[in-house]
Amino acid sequence: MRFPPLRVRMVALHLERRAIPGHLLRLPRHLVSEKENAVTGHHGHWCLRCGCSDHGGPAGDLGRAVPLFEQTLSDTVRVLGKDHPDTLTARNNLACAYESAGDLGRAVRLFEQTLSDTARVLGKDHPDTLTARNNLACAYESAGDLGRAVPLFEQTLSDTARVLGKDHPDTLTARNNLASAYESAGDLGRAVPLFEQTLSDTARVLGKDHPDTLTARNNLAYAHQSAGDLARAIPLYEQTANARAQLLGEDHPSTLTTRNNLAYAYQSAGDLSRAISLFEQTLSDAVRVLGDNHRLTQAVRCAHLAARALKAVEAATMRGTCTSARGRCVSHGDSC
């Protein structure tokens, strides 16, 4: 087994976290392989996950997947024993499936068991133990338990850098994950510099056009946007959207996600016309490529409807202001 490569996560920010825009998608937080799909179930391969639910397909897929992962774990324990490395892998992947299905209670307990068993069987510095620690931290964050998530991410970054080196792709992943946790905790003062360092190091180690570099750039743009620095966020989103389209294709989920992010940044900057146009284009492409029921499609649709509603409110407000102004003018015998 080996620690998998840098990964990318899709995250939906729900309505209650922002007043108008509905769901804002981002590609960040936990660089989770250009996965953006369901968990892998291959024996001997760990899935480094953070928020496994983020870019899953229709709920029916998970309904079929979870029992298969449960059966795989049961069979692996029976055939290989409860401490076999492949059993640890199967347990990790089942925990990911539970997280994808929104069953965080079972996911957290299983990730905790996986970390404990992996450290005992393979050692606390084994790459798979580092993966298990990362996954548990992600589950804590998904459950809103940042008090446990942040220290675990900090420990994972420190240990990964010590064991694998500061430029190892898994160290870049761990740094990104910690930056995301800081952001989730509202500590943008620590999050933004860490995202900046991640982008700089990823570009240096993997190249400026590597998919993980594009992910890191998207993540930094999102952090700038969270900090209200749209002057930095928008150019980074535009650059990332163009690069993703060239590298991955116009229809790739990562490209669609970055376009959604860019549209929301336009909206945040007050450019509703450009935002709505880009939301409409992204929604049309998402429906065509992914279908009506895909989470990405649903999130973009929600954001598009929210932007249109905001534009309608602004238009109504302007009409009311104009009517009020005309009334004042007429009352004074003036013409507008």
Q: Give per-residue pLDDT as tens, 251-298.
A: 999 999 999 999 999 999 999 999 999 999 999 999 999 999 898 999
Distance separating alpha carbons of residues 282 and 296, to the nearest angstrom: 10
Angle, helices 253-268 vs 211-226, to 10°: value is 20
Q: How many residues does the chain have?
A: 336
The token pair that represents 267 in the structure block: 């909206």
Per-residue pLDDT, 321: 62
Per-residue pLDDT, 62: 72
- The residue ranges of the chain whose pLDDT is under 50 are 1-57, 329-336
Per-residue pLDDT, 316: 85
pLDDT digits (tens, 9 = 90+) for 175-190: 999 999 999 999 999 9
Element (H, E) at 171: helix 169-184
Give how far Cα 51 sits from Cα of 28, 211, 282, Å. 11, 20, 23
Q: Which residues contact 95 (CB under 8 A, 6 or more apart)?
A: 106, 107, 110, 111, 114, 135, 139
pTM above 0.75, yes or no: yes
How many Cα atoms are found within 13 Å in the side-chain-facing hemisphere of 91?
A: 26
Per-residue pLDDT, 336: 39
Per-residue pLDDT, 326: 54
Residue with tokens 């997280």: 99
Per-residue pLDDT, 85: 94
Per-residue pLDDT, 187: 97
Q: Residue 72 carries which side chain, given as an amino acid letter?
A: T
Report the C-alpha dihedral over residues 15, 18, 22, 28, rounded to 10 degrees: -100
Per-residue pLDDT, 147: 98
Per-residue pLDDT, 12: 29
Chosen CATH of 11-312 out of 1.25.40.10, 1.25.40.340, 3.40.250.10, 1.10.10.10: 1.25.40.10
Distance separating alpha carbons of residues 92 and 98, to the nearest angstrom: 10
Per-residue pLDDT, 96: 92
Question: b or e along 109-122 (b: 16 or more beta carbons within 10 Å of the residue's beta carbon)?
Answer: ebbebbbebbbebb
Per-residue pLDDT, 244: 96
Beta-bridge partners for 12: 25
Q: Which residues contact 81 (CB under 8 A, 6 or more apart)?
A: 87
